[in-house]
Structure formats: C-alpha cells, structure tokens
Chain A
Amino acid sequence: MTEGIWIGVAGIAVVAVLMKVAGPLLGPHELPEPAVRVVAHLAPALLTGLVVADLAGRRWSAFDPALAAGIAAAGLLRWRLGGIVVPVLGAVAVTAGLRLG
C-alpha cells in the first residue's frame, strides 16, 4: 500500500508538470489568430465548468440545495455590490446558515 502511494504521488507529479510545461515548451512564441479567439473563450468555459462540477459532483450526487443557494447569493451580491470578498463570504454565510437551519 505505502509503496503504491509513493509511486502514485511520483506519477501524478510527473503528469502535473508535463501538462503545465507542454504548452510553453512545445507551443509557438506567438499564437495564431484563430487560437487567440479560442483562448478568449477558454476562461469562461473553464470557470463555468468548474462551478457546475463543484455543484453537481459525480452523477449529481453532491448537489446540495444549500450550497446552490449560497452560490446564487454570491452571484447576486457580485451583481449588486461588485468585488470578490463580499460575494464569496456571502456564499459561505448563506450556505452555512441554511445547513444549520
């Protein structure tokens, strides 16, 4: 078991490094125009995916209405007040409050 853990840690370390350095090592110094347009869409695509994946979990088994309400509160606070910290703390407060209730 212990040996397997260490092999696994070494394996994912190699994987993480390779995935991160692949672009700068193999990619061009300047992206072609179509790639530039794709990159502009990458951030919103990735962020949306991360929010949905965090909310859903595997087969939507992790979906928690309290967490969903908290995230919605963050969106509302960001829309009305702007900023980062207040909406995020608002999400934590709403989620925790609903779980306690």
Chain B
Amino acid sequence: MGVRLPTSMFSPSFREGARLGLPLGLSALLLAITFGATARSGGWGVAAPIVASVVVFSGSAQFALLAALAGGAGVASGVGAAALVNARFVPMGLSMGPWLKGGRLRRAVESLAIVDASWVLAHEGGARFNRDKLLGATAVQYPMWVLGTVVGVLLSPSADVFESLAFDALYPAFFLVLLMEELEARPATRWTALLSALVVGALVLVLPPGVAVVACGFVALLGLRRRLADPEPA
C-alpha cells in the first residue's frame, strides 16, 4: 500500500518551490559539510558549528566568521564581515516584504526564509515575488544545511574530496543557470549583469568576495534608468 503525502497541506507554488529547491538543497548539504568539517578542524568543537547553522542559516556569514577567527582577526572583525556580507539581505527583504503575509511581525518571521537562491526562484518579474515559492525552496534547503553541518562535524571529510569531485562547481553553475533565466525573461537587465560582473571582478582585488557582492545592490540602481526597463508581463 502506497503512502499518500498530504500534498493539499501545501499550495502548488510551495510544492514548486520545494521541487526547484531540491538540487539547491543538495548543494547546501555539500557546502554545509565543508563548513562543519572546517569549523571542527578549526577548533569550534561539535556543538558551535551545528548551532551556528541552526540559528544563522547563512553560509556567507558563517564562513566569514570562520575565516576571521582562523586568521586571528577576532570576533568583532568576524561579526563585522558577516554584517557586510549579509547587507544584501536588506534590499532583498525590502523587495520581498510586500508579498509576505500578515502584520509586520509575521512578515519579519517569514523573511527569515530569504536566502539567495530561494529569493531568485521566488522572483516573478518586475517587483513581483511568490511568497509560497520562497518558503517551499527554503523548506528544502534549511534542513539540508543543518544536516550537512552535522555530517561535516562528525565525519570531518577532507577538503580534497570535495575539490576532486568538483562540488564547488554546484553553486556557481546554479547561479549562472538562474541568471540566464533572468536575462531571457528580462533582456534589458543584461547591462546590469555585465556591469555587475565588472564591478565585482574588480572589487575582489581589494575586498573579500562576500563583501564585493554587496556592491551588486548599487549596480541594480541602473534600473532607475527608464530606458533599461523591460515591459512588465501582463
């Protein structure tokens, strides 16, 4: 006898988000294994990396703290770097805010589901976002992120294994594919993408990559130019 999942509990958009989020969840799992293993070997012990993944759920911030502490830069530097790296969540939250449900408090709680890939998957053009798709995509990635950290902490696999198997290609490949979908849907944004590539490519010469990415928020101001606006789909 087959087991029937209570699919009616979730909206079609939520299930679509979860389906699209599955391969991203696999990437999150592998990256989290790396985080857990690196933190363990860096003297974080067992509990701290797992708690970090449970309460922070931001790979860029967690790796920023890891790098700061490993490099002897201190806690304040690590938290400061994490703040800069996560500054991109402010415009992302601003854009998502109107599409979340309930009062300000509930919308704030729902906004915790914002991560790069889920936010992009939830983007439906212009300033329109699909809340259920965001929640569905993150509902898959979050447990994988925590599970990966547990596995990494407990098994501490060598970083060479991941490099040999080219798991580091997963995220940039995903981001490129999602970018191509964005550019197909909104061709006028190609100039923004090109400028963003040049700006980040130059900034990584003087800034940590995670901080350089924050500049993309400023590049997006190109959207203020009316002639770079795509017509809104009906």
Report which A residues bind B (CB closer than 8 A).
1-2, 4-9, 11-13, 15-17, 19-25, 27-31, 34-60, 66-67, 70-71, 74-75, 78-79, 84-85, 87-88, 90-96, 99-100
Contacts of A50 in B (CB 8 A): 116, 171-172, 175, 213
Q: In the complex where A92-B170, A92-B173, A100-B164 touch, is A20 in contact with B223 (Cβ < 8 A)? A: no
A84 to B194 Cα, complex, angstroms: 22
Cross-interface CB contact of B212 among A9, A44, A49, cutoff 8 Å: A49
Cross-interface CB contact of A51 among B45, B57, B83, B172, cutoff 8 Å: B172
Interface SS majority for chain A:
helix
Contacts of B166 in A (CB 8 A): 66-67, 70, 91-93, 95-96, 99
Contacts of A67 in B (CB 8 A): 166, 168-169, 172
Report which B residues bind A (CB closer than 8 A).
20, 23, 43-45, 48, 51-52, 55-58, 61-62, 64-65, 68-69, 74-75, 78-79, 82-83, 86-98, 100, 104, 107-112, 114, 116, 119-120, 123, 125-127, 163-180, 182-183, 186, 189-190, 192-197, 199-201, 204-205, 208-210, 212-213, 215-217, 219-224, 226, 228-230
Q: Total number of A-B contacts with CB less than 8 angstroms? A: 321
A87 to B62 Cα, complex, angstroms: 28
Cross-interface CB contact of A41 among B68, B75, B222, cutoff 8 Å: B222
Q: Smallest distance from the beta carbon of B65 to chain A beta carbons, Å? A: 5
Cross-interface CB contact of B94 among A35, A43, A48, cutoff 8 Å: A35
Q: Is the CB of B173 within 8 A of A39?
A: no
Q: In the complex where A47-B175, A48-B196, A79-B180 touch, is A5 in contact with B48 (Cβ < 8 A)? A: yes
A99 to B30 Cα, complex, angstroms: 19
A7 to B120 Cα, complex, angstroms: 32
Pick from A30, A36, A42, A51 the residue with the most CB of B within 10 Å. A42
